[in-house]
Homo-oligomer: A and B are copies of this chain.
């Protein structure tokens, strides 16, 4: 159940392999990798800079992890989120969950992403050909999170 916030890129293969091989009880590994898109709201994105609130970030990600663990029978989970300046097609985030059976891992992984999007203190600033701008939060992310509240 670990969370990491880092400037460096991450190695999805090594992470998934370590999670998977941790136990022969694990039947399912579900993962999400987010990458920087080159277009947002119609403009070309040259770089994306992620700011965060370090003392709060780790705590928020750990809370999300604990909540997922309390809701589903999962074996382990991992969140890696990058900060600093990224460019299109760089990896931003990895969320991976292992479980005996696939249903739990799928749900927990999507839950963790939906909560991360609305609860973890990260902010994106884009440099486009039109200049720099902060990325606006999306209503669809609030809606995605709200789905889990009634479960």
Contacts and interface: CB of A to CB of B under 8 A. Distances in A.
Interface of A: 11-14, 16-17, 20-21, 24-39, 88-89, 91, 100-103, 105-106, 109-110, 113, 140, 144
Contacts of A36: 24, 27
A137 to B, nearest CB: 14
B32 A29 contact: yes
Given A24-B38, A37-B24, A38-B25, A106 B32 contact: yes
- Number of this chain's copies in the complex: 2
Contacts of A100: 37
For the complex of A and B, the 9 pairs showing the least CB-CB separation, nearest first, are A13-B13, A24-B38, A29-B33, A24-B88, A106-B110, A27-B37, A31-B31, A24-B89, A30-B32
